[in-house]
Amino acid sequence: MHNQTEAFFKLNPELVDIHVHVGSISHPALLWDITHELGLKLPMKNYWTFKEMLSVEGKLGGATEESRLNKYLKFFDITEKIQSSPYAMNRVIYDGISGAYRANNITKLELRFCPMLRNNKGAHDLDQIIVSAIHAIDRGAMAFPEVTVGLIFTLDRRFAKKENTIILEKAIKYKDRGVIGIDMAGPRAADFNYLDYKDLYQEAVSQGLKTTIHAGEEGTAKEMETIVNKFPLQRIGHGIKAIESKKLMHKLIDKNITLELCPTSNLKIGVVKDIHELKRITRTFFDTGVSFTINTDGPELLDTTIKKEIRLLLDNDILTADEMMKVVDMGHKASFLKCSC
């Protein structure tokens, strides 16, 4: 083990993961069990074929950042289908909480998902899906009282504004029962425009919800700057395009906006080309004073954990052990979950 890595993990810090998609927290074995428990039809009968289908390794090539990202997002089609019932959501969220604490000592965990992509195209009541997710958090709190968990509801860039408004309304309805904020993600519809949703974000903040948004993973630094200028935000998902603009980085600092960095995700999807570019981005943000966190994004699909993410940065001398402790502290402070200290 690298000296910096050994020094960091000797401290056994309480870790945080605040950018985690529910669609990618479940091991294929759990999804396989749920599929057969519910009698869902899959295009294969063999578990190993199913497991291979859910592996992204070697399958994310493409000419553009957007095409590679969309290939990755296609993997969510099958996981979201399997998770689309109250029973499934209860199981996968509880399992995600259990694994996060037992394997990684995560004590703050924020899980994000789109409720409308979990109700089997309207076959299940939306409130039933949400309450089942909340019940899983309650079960997790009893089994692992050291862990604080919150749900972030994700608006989808493919949806009409009417559908996304309903998702916001549900977030507001359950804001005192474990829903802590909203996000926006997913493949872009042809007519999608971020600015169409500024009012929904303003409404979310006025109702006491926290806000984050996927931006600066693909797209441009100019687009990201527009979002930073127009939206009331506490955090931004990924946000690596900020590296291209000193002005934008200083705006992030001035507005106290934290970036949710996901190193393995960005490397495997190809929006960061290699470890050298990852080092340049991470070091620039750290040395400039931009607040950022380290997260898994899609732990099972991307075969990562928060400890693997930390090792990646320490083993490659991107951050020192002391610097990594500061980043972990940034994560605790940037979390939408109330501090228990």
The Cα–Cα gap between 124 and 5 comes to: 46
Instruction: Tell whether the model's pLDDT for residue 96 goes beyond 50.
Output: yes
Average pLDDT over every residue of 200-205: 98
Average pLDDT over every residue of 113-131: 92
CATH code (residue 60):
3.20.20.140
Alpha-carbon 302 to chain mean position: 12
Instruction: Tell whether the model's pLDDT for residue 38 goes beyond 80.
Output: yes
The Cα–Cα gap between 260 and 78 comes to: 25
Domain annotation covers residue 339: no
pTM for the model stands at 0.95
Mean residue pLDDT of the chain comes to 94
In 278-336, beta strands by DSSP E: 292-294
Amino acid symbol at 71: K
Average pLDDT over every residue of 207-217: 97
Domain annotation covers residue 340: no
8-state DSSP, 118: S
Which residue reads 């394997």 in tokens? 103
Q: Which residue has the higher pLDDT, 128 or 56?
A: 128
Structurally, the chain folds into a number of domains equal to 1
Structural domain containing residue 256: 3-334
Tell me which of 71-85, 198-212, 225-239 is least confident: 71-85
Instruction: Tell whether the model's pLDDT for residue 64 goes beyond 50.
Output: yes
DSSP string, 72-110: HHHHHHHHHHHT-SHHHHHHHHHHHHHHHHHHH-EEEEE
Average pLDDT over every residue of 53-59: 85
Instruction: Tell whether the model's pLDDT for residue 341 goes beyond 50.
Output: no
Average pLDDT over every residue of 114-137: 93
DSSP reduced 3-state for 64: coil
Please say whether the beta carbons of 116 and 159 come within 8 A: yes
Domain annotation covers residue 103: yes
Beta-carbon-side half-sphere exposure of residue 174 (alpha carbons within 13 Å): 26
The Cα–Cα gap between 192 and 202 comes to: 18
Instruction: Tell whether the model's pLDDT for residue 200 goes beyond 80.
Output: yes
User: Helix 306-315 vs helix 86-104: angle between axes, to the nearest 10 degrees?
Assistant: 40
User: Helix 306-315 vs helix 3-10: angle between axes, to the nearest 10 degrees?
Assistant: 140
Strand order of the β-sheet with 292-294 is 214-215, 235-238, 258-261, 292-294
The Cα–Cα gap between 230 and 272 comes to: 26
Domain annotation covers residue 341: no
Domain annotation covers residue 16: yes
pLDDT on residue 1: 60
- Reference 163, options 190, 196, 212, 136; nearest CA is 196
The Cα–Cα gap between 88 and 79 comes to: 11
pLDDT on residue 12: 87
User: Sign (positive/negative) of CA torsion 119, 120, 122, 125?
Assistant: negative
pLDDT on residue 63: 67
pLDDT on residue 340: 46
Strand order of the β-sheet with 15-21 is 15-21, 106-113, 148-156, 179-185, 210-211
Average pLDDT over every residue of 85-104: 96
Neighbours of 34 (CB within 10 A): 20
pLDDT on residue 149: 98
- Reference 195, options 220, 167, 224, 221; nearest CA is 224
Q: What percent of the chain has pLDDT over 70?
A: 99
pLDDT on residue 124: 85
Please say whether the beta carbons of 186 and 210 come within 8 A: no
C-alpha distance from residue 55 to each of 28, 118, 258 (Å): 9, 21, 30
Domain annotation covers residue 320: yes
DSSP reduced 3-state for 192: coil
Domain annotation covers residue 149: yes
C-alpha distance from residue 190 to each of 60, 197, 220, 250, 292 (Å): 22, 16, 17, 31, 31
Amino acid symbol at 231: F
Domain annotation covers residue 291: yes
